[in-house]
Amino acid sequence: MPAWHRVSALGRIIFLDGLRRHALVGLVLLSLAAEVSGFLFMDFFGRDIGRASSDFLFSVIWAGGLMFLFFHAVQVISWDEERKVIYTILSRPLSRAEYVLGVFTGLLALLIGLQLLLGTAGYATLLVIKHSLATFYFQHLSLAHYLLTWAGLAVMQTALLAVIMLFSGMVRGGFPVLLLSVAYYGICAGLPVVRDSVDAHSAAGYLLQILTALFPDFSRLDFKDMVVSNLSVTHGMQVWMNFGLVLLYIGIVTGFASRIYARRDLQ
C-alpha cells in the first residue's frame, strides 16, 4: 500500500533523530552498565541466583524502556509542534494519520532496538553467570522462555507507546502527556490488584472487568518466573490469546490516535 512508504519515510526520520540524541545514547549506556552490574548483584544472594539475576535483568530492560517512553516518546509530537517542525513535515503529502503512524513507527523502531540490545546483553549476562556457578545455584536457563518474556515485555511497552501517541494527539505539551501516561501506567499496574480484592461477581467486579478492557492487565504478559524453570514451552492458548489481545489493543489505540489527530487544528 502506497501510504506505508510515506509512513516509513517519516519513521526513518524520527528514528534517525532519536538515535542521534545524546540523552538516548546515555540511556542505552546506563542500561547496559546496569545489566553488566548483574555480575556484582548476584554476589548478594546465597541461593536461587538464577531467578534473582533474571528478575534483575528484566527489571533493567523494563526500566530502560520506561525511561525511553516517559522521557523521550512523550515529547516527540509536542517538540514537533513547539518548534514548528510539524509544518515542514505536514506540508508534504502526508495525512495526519500517516504522521501519527510515522512517529509511532519511528519510536517503535527505537524502542525495539533498545529492547533488542538490552535483551541480548541480558541473555549473555545470564549465560556468563550460569557458567560461573555450580549447577546447584543456577540449574536452568530457558532461551525459549527468555524470548517469550522479552516478547511480552516488548509488546507491553509497545502498548504504552500507542497510548502515548493517543495522549499526544489529545493534549498539547509534553508534560501533560507525561502525566497522563504515568497515570495510565499506574492504573494498569494497580487495577489487577484491586480486582483481586473485589468479588468478581459483584457490580464493582464487573465494572473493574470492563475497565480492564481499557487498561490492560500487563501482568498477563509477564513470564519472567519461567525463565529459569525447566517447564515445557508449549503453553495453552491463553498465552497467545493474551498476546493477540494486546496487539489488537495497540491497533485500536493507534487508530484512535490517528483519527483524533486528524481533527485537530495546528495552532
Residues between 11 and 40 with contacts to another protein, criterion CB under 8 A: 12-14, 16-21
| Number of chain positions touching another protein (CB under 8 A) | 58
Contact region with another protein (CB under 8 A), list: 107-115, 123-131, 168-176, 250-258: 250-258
- Estimate to the nearest angstrom the gap between the alpha carbon of 82 and the chain centroid: 26
CA angle 236, 188, 162 (to 5 degrees): 90
Cell numbers that stand for 15 in this block? 528514528
Cell numbers that stand for 196 in this block? 483481586
Nearest to 122 by CA among 48, 43, 62: 62
Nearest to 224 by CA among 108, 127, 141: 141
Nearest to 85 by CA among 76, 95, 73, 97: 76
Contact region with another protein (CB under 8 A), list: 29-37, 63-71, 77-85, 125-133: 77-85
CB 138 within 8 A of CB 130: yes
Task: State which residue, 36 or 204, has the beta carbon closest to another protein.
Answer: 204
Near another protein by CB under 8 A: residue from 33, 48, 187, 189: 48
Near another protein by CB under 8 A: residue from 23, 33, 59, 87: 87
Nearest to 100 by CA among 32, 25, 14, 172: 14
Q: What are phi and psi of 80, to 5 degrees?
A: -60, -40
Residues between 190 and 249 with contacts to another protein, criterion CB under 8 A: 200, 209, 212-213, 220, 225, 237-238, 241-242, 244-245, 248-249
Near another protein by CB under 8 A: residue from 5, 203, 232, 234: 5
Near another protein by CB under 8 A: residue from 90, 133, 170, 211: 90
Residues that bind another protein (CB under 8 A): 1-3, 5-6, 8-10, 12-14, 16-21, 46-48, 80, 83-85, 87-88, 90-95, 97-98, 101, 200, 209, 212-213, 220, 225, 237-238, 241-242, 244-245, 248-249, 251-252, 255-256, 258-259, 265-267
